[in-house]
Amino acid sequence: MKKIVYVTGSRAEYGIMKRLLLALDQDPEIELTIVATGMHCDEKYGLTYKVIENDALNIDRLIDINIDTSNNAKILNSMSICQSEFGQYFQDNKFDAVMILGDRYEIFSVAIAAAMHNLPIIHLHGGEKTLGNYDEFIRHAITKMSKLHLASTEEYRERIIQMGEHPDTVFNVGALGAENSLLMDLPSKIQLETKFGSLKNPYFMVVFHPETLTSISPSAQVTELLNALTEFTVQYDFVFIGSNSDTGSDEITIKVKYFCEQTQSRFMTSVTPEEYLALNKYSQGLIGNSSSGLIEIPSLNIPTINIGDRQKGRVRGKTVIDCICEKNKIVDSITNSQTEDIQQKVINSVNPYYQQAVLNNILLEIKVFFNQPIELCKDFYDIKISE
């Protein structure tokens, strides 16, 4: 039996991984351990570790890293706490592999701690580009510490190989999130209304995070968005989901909550993975800059209005409408998203992140990984460049 520890730091990433974690938890060949950190341990973000427990998954350890998003120095302090805590955790607990997803700063600290202990890292969603956020270089750094790469598209697989990872360790398995939208048991609209209140008016979902590699402050970014939404408050309702714990996110939250008070819009700190997908399913579309708008939401056949550069460089399908973070451009994009032409494109679109049997693909590659020798020292795979 192989021992895998999965480290989760946010509600969104856990939502993507939930079906895989449940499958691994029931697999007789795998002993799964879950450690929750980051946003999961903070009341400000809804203490979302409770969502994991409600899914009947056992959490071995909660590691609070004292998140403070007021500036980058505070974020770095949280990262140092995280690295120190996981350094000791991996010293005290032995595993055959550490599994992580993506690109968040707390996951970067986990990866460093695992790599220093020479624990094989299984990394999902490597090779992607998000040029407007520090997640961009964090993701690629994690790739260089990892030994099994489970990419979500062929373009991303090729980029990982370009970074010096051997092709035999890099697999295009598709995106769990794209499959989750189709296979998860989602609550009905009536069930959502029983819990959250009426959803009778046409409404948009809104998820907006800071762009952390830009000269424009998070406050200025969200002001442009909210000024645009003001133009539609008679026609549509808006349901906001709280921002991630990135630098400057508190500035966004303060302004969003004030907007909700003034317009009777709804603000939800956090919801379950199924609730999030269902809320989007019955909406007019998703507005903001969340990766879910490019990966998960297209499987629901609704449009995404993707604002700014946070997701710049990511593969996207025809359901995504890109616009700069400027009021009039956002207004035009929201209006355009409801036209017959765009609606027809959305209905006929294909999600580029979707593959058949994503979950099974991932399980297979993990099993194969464990059934072959794992090199302690990973070599660099050189690509011949023609002159």
Question: Is residue 165 located within the same domain as residue 31?
Answer: yes
The CA distance from 243 to 338, in Å, is: 25
What pLDDT, on a 0 to 100 scale, did the predictor assign at position 337? 97
Residue pair 139/149 in contact (Cβ under 8 Å)? The answer is no
**Domain hosting residue 143, numbered range:** 2-174+356-370
CA–CA distances in Å: residue 68 to residues 108, 279, 342: 17, 29, 40
Task: Give the closest residue to 63 by CA, choosing from 119, 122, 7.
Answer: 7
Question: Is residue 334 located within the same domain as residue 266?
Answer: yes
Question: Is residue 166 located within the same domain as residue 231?
Answer: no
Rounded to the nearest 5°, which phi and psi values hold at 306? -95, 115
The CA distance from 242 to 210, in Å, is: 12
Question: Is residue 158 located within the same domain as residue 212?
Answer: no
Question: Is residue 111 located within the same domain as residue 226?
Answer: no
The model's pTM is 0.95
Tokens of 387: 């002159």
What pLDDT, on a 0 to 100 scale, did the predictor assign at position 387? 64
Question: Is residue 157 located within the same domain as residue 224?
Answer: no
Domain of residue 235, CATH code: 3.40.50.2000
Question: Is residue 115 located within the same domain as residue 199?
Answer: no
What pLDDT, on a 0 to 100 scale, did the predictor assign at position 200? 81
β-bridge mates for residue 171, sequence order: 150
Question: Is residue 71 located within the same domain as residue 197?
Answer: no
Indicate the number of domains in the chain: 2
Question: Is residue 169 located within the same domain as residue 193?
Answer: no
Q: pLDDT digit of tens for each residue in the chain (387 aa)?
A: 999 999 999 999 999 999 999 999 999 999 999 999 999 999 999 999 999 999 999 999 999 999 999 999 999 999 999 999 999 999 999 999 999 999 999 999 999 999 999 999 999 999 999 998 999 999 999 999 999 999 999 999 999 999 999 999 999 999 999 999 999 999 999 999 999 999 888 999 999 999 988 888 999 999 999 999 999 999 999 999 999 999 999 999 999 999 999 999 999 999 999 999 999 999 999 999 999 999 999 999 999 999 999 999 999 999 999 999 999 999 999 999 999 999 999 999 999 999 999 999 999 999 999 998 888 889 999 998 876
Question: Is residue 60 located within the same domain as residue 148?
Answer: yes
Per this entry, what is the length of the chain? Answer: 387
